[in-house]
Amino acid sequence: MANRRAWYSWLLLILVLSAVTWLILHNLDEIVQYNFRFKWRYLKLSFLFVSAAYLVMVFIWTRLTLSFGLDAPMLKAGKAWFLSQLGKYVPGKVTLLLVRLDTYRGYSKQKIAVATGIEYIALLASASVLVLVALASASQTVPYYIRWVAGVGAVLFLSLLWPPLLMRFVSWVSKLLTREPIEEFPPYGLLLRFVGAYMFSSLLHGMGLFFVLNSFSPVNFRYFLTITGAYYAAGLIGVSAVFAPSGIGVREGVLFLILPAFIPKPAVIVGVITMRLITTTAELFLAGVFVVTEKIWAKRSK
């Protein structure tokens, strides 16, 4: 059964990537003939904003784990977070948690798992709320069903963060795994602040995509929120596609459909692919920085 699921996952991934590849090839002539206005400085700014977004997310993670009594040094926590992020590039998403559990040896595995789950729900909640806010003035630019998906997602994920409901769910899972349930959870107000903080990091990511698109074709700043909302709407759909590592192919395909409504299609195709490269590069770079810095600090502390 597990082998069959893995086979289906790979098949779906191949189909999605094939569809995206076909779309790119289908528009190749238009891409080649398009008069791109390439600007390196915007790509550099994009990398800086994306990196800043990831650093904000690391800071939120340290505050979240601290609320569970897991007081790890900042460098160690940052290293764990970035290494776990690399795990999302393996189909199935579960590798993200496995990498984090392995990195946090010596800590309560159950608390790390619950903290990771809350982080995931808070991220989805922030993305859903941001999509609703950002696309409110998007007129007919974005398919109407995306607003419904974001609205349902916002209600669902914000409800799941409510401590009484969250505690019942965790207790149920703990019983299934024959583990002692966690008795204390962060207050709802603190969890909502985490959601707000994730929205801030999302705006930084959106700014990264905005600068990437501007590096190939001029885009008016009035589209910034719409671009950000579309990016996270595509991200929500990509998250649901568990067969796609980090939503690869799915996120790009959704953006290829939405953004050409107000940005030239060649600039969208090249820009979205470039954004994927920038985010992956930023993750690898920051992971390397935290790993090396943590090792150097550990040696000096001996």
Condensed to tens digits (0 to 9), the pLDDT of residues 216-238 reads 888 889 889 888 988 888 777 65
* CA 52 and chain centroid, separation: 14
pLDDT of residue 94: 60
- The predicted model scores a pTM of 0.81
Residue 237, Cβ density class (10 Å: 0-12 exposed, 13-18 middle, ≥19 buried): middle
Is residue 5 pLDDT above 60, yes or no?
no
SS (H, E, C) 14-25: HHHHHHHHHHHH
Whether 238 contacts 252, CB under 8 Å: no
Report the amino acid identity of residue 278.
I
Domain ranges across the chain: 38-291
The span from the CA of 43 to the CA of 253, in Å, is 21
pLDDT of residue 250: 66
Is residue 210 pLDDT above 90, yes or no?
yes
Of 69-73, 157-161, 165-169, give the lowest mean pLDDT range: 69-73
Overall size of the chain counted in residues:
302
b/e burial code for range 128-159 (CB count within 10 A of at least 16 → b): bbbbbebbeebeebbeeebbebbeebbeebbe
Helices and strands counted in the chain (H then E): 12, 0
* CA 290 and chain centroid, separation: 19
Residue 221, Cβ density class (10 Å: 0-12 exposed, 13-18 middle, ≥19 buried): exposed
Task: Tell me what the mean pLDDT of segment 142-150 comes to.
Answer: 72
Condensed to tens digits (0 to 9), the pLDDT of residues 238-286 reads 565 444 444 455 677 778 778 888 888 888 888 888 898 898 899 889 9
Concatenated DSSP letters for 54-102? HHHHHHHHHHHHHTTT----HHHHHHHHHHHHHGGGSTTSHHHHHHHHH
The span from the CA of 4 to the CA of 235, in Å, is 26
Question: In the structure, what pLDDT confidence band is assigned to residue 206 with cuts at 50, 70 and 90?
Answer: very high
Tell me the angle at which helices 250-258 and 224-240 cross, rounded to the nearest 10 degrees.
140
Condensed to tens digits (0 to 9), the pLDDT of residues 105-141 reads 777 778 888 888 899 899 989 988 988 887 776 655 6
pLDDT top residue among 18 and 223: 223
